[in-house]
């Protein structure tokens, strides 16, 4: 029996023009199904963040339409906890402890405080910060701050996680560790993840599918299925099937930068 895949995000011929002159996205058309891990890969300024922000209901498309769980992104954000966002900057409140930072969005939503605390503990454990719940952000490394930020996003049990270059500011070793952890969390929580990056290795390592975008005006230049089994270990990076995908994705990226198809 073939089960129909549920569509989570649909970009339907979306264009976004800023200030009537900057074409950040042009005719961007992409459908993403439940459980996928899709990376938006492209050079700086190609509209990756714009696409992600539109899916989060931050701004409106100039042309075309975006559907998230078959509704407008704004409606989904307003009415549910189904979508959470993680930015490159962890954006923690310095005067709040780790657990209080994770609790903040839950507090804002209201509801049972005890249940919130249990949930905050669960997600902090998941990101390996069980022993740092009472620490303050200034006591944490960059990687730990990002873990808090991810825990805060997970606390509301989102069905979809939107991540905008979350690991770009981290050193290579920390970045690799967090990539592994993110894949574990994705599999455990069975979420859909949209992940922005300009790093080809990161895109191949993480994704089920890569959406390669071309430089301005931001277009979807090609889609690449990454047919590598999960769980993926770091050692996969030296295997031929991995380096082959890196080569293919790099070539697509280069072609797209030169404005070719």
Question: How remote is the C-alpha of 210 from its chain's centroid?
Answer: 12
Among 46, 76, 98, 153, binds ligand ADP (CB under 6 A): 46
Report if residue 18 touches ligand ADP, rule: CB under 6 A. yes
| Selected range binding ligand ADP among 16-24, 78-86, 173-181, 246-254, rule: CB under 6 A | 16-24
- Taking the C-alpha atoms of residue 256 and residue 214, their distance in angstroms, rounded to an integer, is 5
**Binding to Mg ion in span 41-80, by CB under 5 A:** 49
| Selected range binding ligand ADP among 46-54, 79-87, 199-207, 232-240, rule: CB under 6 A | 46-54
Running DSSP on this structure, what letter comes out for residue 14?
A: E
> Of the two residues 101 and 197, which places its CB atom closer to Mg ion in the complex?
197
- Taking the C-alpha atoms of residue 98 and residue 48, their distance in angstroms, rounded to an integer, is 29
Other beta carbons less than 10 A from residue 245's beta carbon: 24
The DSSP bridge partners found for residue 214 are 219
* Shortest separation between residue 199's beta carbon and ligand ADP, angstroms: 13
Report the partner that residue 47 touches, choosing among Mg ion, ligand ADP, none (CB closer than 5 to 8 A by kind): ligand ADP
* Shortest separation between residue 47's beta carbon and ligand ADP, angstroms: 4
Report if residue 221 touches ligand ADP, rule: CB under 6 A. no
End-to-end Cα separation, the chain, in angstroms = 36
Helix (H, G, I), strand (E, B) or coil at 220: strand
Report if residue 50 touches ligand ADP, rule: CB under 6 A. yes
Q: Are 253 and 197 in contact (CB under 8 A)?
A: no
| Selected range binding ligand ADP among 15-23, 99-107, 118-126, 130-138, rule: CB under 6 A | 15-23
Running DSSP on this structure, what letter comes out for residue 92?
A: -
> Of the two residues 48 and 116, which places its CB atom closer to ligand ADP in the complex?
48
Half-sphere exposure in the Cβ direction for 231 (13 Å, CA)? 13
Residues of the shown chain interacting with ligand ADP in the complex, contacts defined by CB under 6 A: 18-19, 22, 24, 42, 44-50, 216
């Amino acid at each position: 029996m073939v089960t129909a895949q549920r569509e989570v995000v649909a970009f339907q011929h979306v264009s976004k023009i800023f200030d009537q002159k900057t074409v950040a996205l042009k005719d961007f058309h992409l459908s993403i199904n439940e459980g996928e891990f899709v990376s938006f890969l492209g050079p700086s300024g190609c509209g990756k963040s714009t696409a992600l922000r539109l899916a989060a209901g931050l701004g409106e498309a100039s042309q075309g339409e975006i559907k998230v769980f078959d509704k407008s992104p704004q409606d989904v954000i307003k009415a549910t906890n189904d979508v959470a966002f993680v930015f490159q900057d962890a954006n923690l409140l310095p005067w709040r402890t780790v657990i209080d930072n994770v609790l903040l969005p839950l507090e804002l939503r209201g509801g049972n405080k005890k249940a919130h605390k249990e949930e905050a503990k669960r997600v902090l454990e998941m990101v390996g910060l069980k022993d740092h719940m009472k620490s303050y952000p200034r006591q944490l490394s960059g990687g730990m701050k990002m873990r808090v930020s991810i825990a805060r996003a997970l606390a509301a049990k989102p069905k979809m996680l939107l991540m905008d270059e979350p690991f770009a500011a981290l050193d290579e070793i920390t970045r690799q560790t967090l990539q592994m952890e993110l894949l574990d969390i994705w599999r455990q929580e069975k979420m859909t993840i949209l992940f922005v990056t300009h790093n080809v290795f990161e895109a191949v390592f993480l994704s089920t599918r890569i959406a390669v975008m071309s430089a301005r005006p931001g277009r979807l230049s090609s889609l690449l299925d990454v047919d590598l089994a999960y769980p993926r270990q770091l050692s996969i990076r030296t295997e031929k099937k991995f380096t082959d995908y890196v080569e293919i994705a790099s070539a697509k990226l280069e072609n797209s930068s030169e404005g070719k198809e």
